[in-house]
Structure 1
């Protein structure tokens, strides 16, 4: 496969990882752009998915070299979870990307896995119109020790209820029952309150193009509970850094 083809194929996933690590879509995309500029300037003979993520991880580990903004420092354990749970890397490849041994990676994942259930309960609002998914998300939220702040299935319901509840986090489906999009509801809410959101979509690559205003946290549909748990933990971790 040509280098350009490999980069094009992996670009949405590189953006997804970088956005989740930094907690800001624009900064994550900037990290990917910087990594690609450095990579292509050296004209490697070949690139692989692992080598691309390895190069991105090196860029993310030195934010002062590419960004004037303050980038939250996600610990290695959280990155290990994002690489294995969200991006599907096996332990050997994830360890190579992070520059650690496989036993060290296992220790990082174990430690971060224990951190998913935090002693600080958060309130999480669900925007979703499928009852089975609502039930699944509610169970995931409560299993982590958090509370469901409310549930809405339409744009109007969501905006009104969220502004009243003022949750710590939003879980939102992209396509709602009234034909609107969850991104629109969240954007309207954010005109009045600052709240992070995780979006759930069957077509995540459509929201990972690098355009302005795209989501920071994305979960593919159908999702695995471990994916939702990992992103809830990461979104709340980033939020805690920003308000501390």
Structure 2
């Protein structure tokens, strides 16, 4: 550990940022367990050496830069031994993408780093970071298309999500405002992806609706939208791989939907 490092970085600053690192790691790997393994490895690395926090970066950039040192040294992405079905197919598709492009896109859209900070996190030139983001957008846009069920109780937001997802080339199976409505729409036509708010119009839970849907859905990716992402990123229970923060941007939705189509995030959640 650097002799000048302050002992409260891990206990205070890193702890505050850890939910967002876990969100990023999970979106990057498509798995809560795998993502958390990389996040834990990052913390272990920081226990040994916190000098990244002395390089003049923001605390969030420093933490994510430490993560990327671990991530790249492990030769990511890594296909887990015995991985089958949709997860194995996802890794095959990821292997065809331009190296480092997904990382750059996720950092820029989901975690909202400006391009210059993406470059700092990834230890690359700013122009290279911008090129990687643009490459990822092109490659992900042409990767997969499918049917999307939207669970959202606010009409304006639901319409906006419909427009974004439709412009991406996906078909909308329906828009549900309640838990019951979501289950009914799913029974009518099975989607390839669910895009869901957490709190619904009648006081019901989007999490409960998704859990009921996933009982019969098999492998299906899910993207959650919430104003309080940290509530879903505690590490105390099964959590979603893809979480968008409200208010969201069009870029965030496009990126999360594209990323989620690569994976099957079917872990059930606790309300």
> Normalised by the size of structure 1, how large is the TM-score?
0.88
C-alpha distance in 2, partners of 1:82/1:45?
Answer: 21
**Mean Cα deviation higher: 34-43 or 162-171:** 34-43
CA shift for structure 1 position 205? 0.9
Work out which of the residue numbers 35, 38, 60 in structure 2 matches 1:49: 60
Maintained 8 Å contact 1:16/1:218: yes
Work out which of the residue numbers 83, 95, 115 in structure 2 matches 1:91: 115
Q: 1:120 to 1:90 in 2, by over 3 A?
A: closer
Q: 1:109 to 1:44 in 2, by over 3 A?
A: closer
Give the structure 1 partner of residue 45 of structure 2. 38
CA shift for structure 1 position 90? 2.3
Give the secondary-structure state (helix, strand or coil) at the position aligned to 2:248: coil
CA shift for structure 1 position 63? 6.5
Alignment of 1:1-244 (within 5 A): 2-3=8-9, 4-42=11-49, 44=51, 46=53, 48-61=59-72, 62=74, 72=91, 73=94, 75-118=99-142, 120-193=144-217, 194-239=219-264
C-alpha distance in 1, partners of 2:53/2:122?
Answer: 20
C-alpha distance in 1, partners of 2:213/2:51?
Answer: 45
CA shift for structure 1 position 129? 0.9
C-alpha distance in 2, partners of 1:45/1:119?
Answer: 36
C-alpha distance in 1, partners of 2:210/2:34?
Answer: 20
C-alpha distance in 1, partners of 2:161/2:105?
Answer: 19
C-alpha distance in 2, partners of 1:231/1:95?
Answer: 21
> Normalised by the size of structure 2, how large is the TM-score?
0.80
Number of residue-to-residue matches in the alignment = 239
CA shift for structure 1 position 30? 2.0
TM-superposition CA deviations, 1:179-212 (whole Å, max 9, x none): 2211111112111212111001011111111122
Maintained 8 Å contact 2:179/2:200: yes
Maintained 8 Å contact 1:77/1:112: yes
Maintained 8 Å contact 1:81/1:230: yes
Q: 5+ unaligned residues in a row in structure 2: which ranges?
A: 1-5, 265-271
TM-superposition CA deviations, 1:115-136 (whole Å, max 9, x none): 3432643111001111101100
Q: 1:63 to 1:156 in 2, by over 3 A?
A: farther
C-alpha distance in 2, partners of 1:166/1:60?
Answer: 35
Q: 5+ unaligned residues in a row in structure 1: which ranges?
A: 240-244
Maintained 8 Å contact 1:118/1:145: no
CA shift for structure 1 position 139? 0.3
C-alpha distance in 2, partners of 1:45/1:140?
Answer: 38
Q: 1:38 to 1:169 in 2, by over 3 A?
A: same
CA shift for structure 1 position 164? 3.4
